[in-house]
Amino acid sequence: MNTEYNDMIYLVACAVNSQVPDKDRVSAMDLDSLYKACKWHTLRATVFTALKSAGTEHSDFFQAYNKAVRKNILFDSEREAITSEMEKQGIWYLPLKGAILKELYPQIGMREMSDNDILYDSSRQNDLKNIMLSRGYTAESVGDSYTDVYKKPPVLNMEMHRALFLFGHDEKLFRYYEDMSRLMKRDDDKQYGYHFSDEDFYVYMTAHEYRHHIGGGTGIRSLVDCYVFMKAKEGTIDKSYIAEQFRQLGIEDYAQKRLSLAMKLFSSADTLSLTESEEEELKHYLRFGTYGTINNVGESSIKRYVEKSGSHSKAGFIMSRLFPSMEFMKHHYPFFYKTKVLLPVGYVWRWIKGLSVNRDKFRAEMKALKKIDKKK
């Protein structure tokens, strides 16, 4: 593992446990290289708090932290304004992921955020769109996927989810979260605001990270989130319930390894002692950064096809992408599915979309197929 990654993990462990790093060790660090590593894993603000406590200054880390604090405040204010309007119009909503997790970190701004995620009543899509447009947002992508994306310069990016998972992500995940009513708890002071129980929030954040893990990949921050959550909730959550949900989702092995690695990395700032398998797992997290890589998306798509079909046929994979199942079309292209005579048009529309909107993913899959040919 590179020195800057060792330093990053050490400083994150100090930060999330509110410990002052060893000043001699910090003074020997290459802060420019450390900054690049932290940026790749969206951990600049977290590491800044550790550096600051050690009396070390670095302008890039300082600016990243200030930006994170500003964005957190702006997101909180904007989320409150949007959900207040949703309350008035009777649109139910449930804030997700970073909006909740950031509150568990020791200091404001420690967890950087690129967007704000909210699950909402999909039957009120047009009403929500009117709310967002009236607040000066641009509808970047509405109705194209399971997430509606709204942006307002300079930094606001709101992702309004009509569902938590698509059918194409993983069928077990999709089925488990298809009916959200059994998991939603009404906020005490709201009529249309909802939240997860702590147990269901942890199950969802793990399932969400698993989707990224088997797709483009995910980075160290997901392990930090895991550690911070468990540190905050240890002793108050029902672990047997959580284990059963992981079993139903088929992600118990991933969840156990992720938690074990997170606790080893961040419970103490002492020298790491990992097994060989844990070292390999850590390398996987370090390789892909916070949001994964498009090349890994392509390779993962082929891997999932092979696992599901049992076939290594290149032609078979291409046909499965050109003509996905009726179940897939039902969930991704409902208009063409319902109007059966237009289903061929739906396939053509999917091809056009793949070559324009999703061309990077298409290229990644073609690149991955070429690798298979070379291995042969």
DSSP 271: P
Helix (H), strand (E) at residue 119:
strand 116-120
One domain for residues 4 and 136: no
Structure tokens at 319: 């046909």
One domain for residues 278 and 339: no
Give the model's pLDDT for residue 299: 58
Give the model's pLDDT for residue 216: 72
Give the model's pLDDT for residue 372: 55
Give the model's pLDDT for residue 347: 76
Question: How confident is the model over 49-65, as pLDDT tens digits?
Answer: 999 999 999 999 999 99
Domain annotation covers residue 326: yes
Q: Which residues of the chain have pLDDT under 70?
A: 1, 144, 271, 290-309, 312-313, 317, 331-332, 353-376
Do residues 53 and 21 lie in contact, with contact meaning Cβ atoms separated by under 8 Å?
A: yes
Going by C-beta distance under 8 Å and a sequence separation of 6 or more, which residues neighbour residue 89?
124, 127, 131
Domain annotation covers residue 63: no
Give the model's pLDDT for residue 302: 61
The single residue listed with the structure tokens 């950031």 is 102
One domain for residues 326 and 185: no
- What single letter denotes the amino acid at residue 138? T
Domain annotation covers residue 66: no
CATH number at residue 130: 3.30.460.40
One domain for residues 300 and 319: yes
Domain annotation covers residue 65: no
One domain for residues 215 and 248: yes
Q: Which domain holds residue 22?
A: 1-57
Going by C-beta distance under 8 Å and a sequence separation of 6 or more, which residues neighbour residue 342?
335, 336
One domain for residues 50 and 85: no
Give the model's pLDDT for residue 341: 75
The single residue listed with the structure tokens 């993913």 is 361
**Number of folded domains in the chain?**
3
One domain for residues 31 and 75: no
Domain annotation covers residue 62: no
One domain for residues 179 and 92: yes
One domain for residues 143 and 241: yes
Whole-angstrom Cα distance, residue 321 to residue 358?
A: 13
Classify 120 as helix, strand or coil: strand
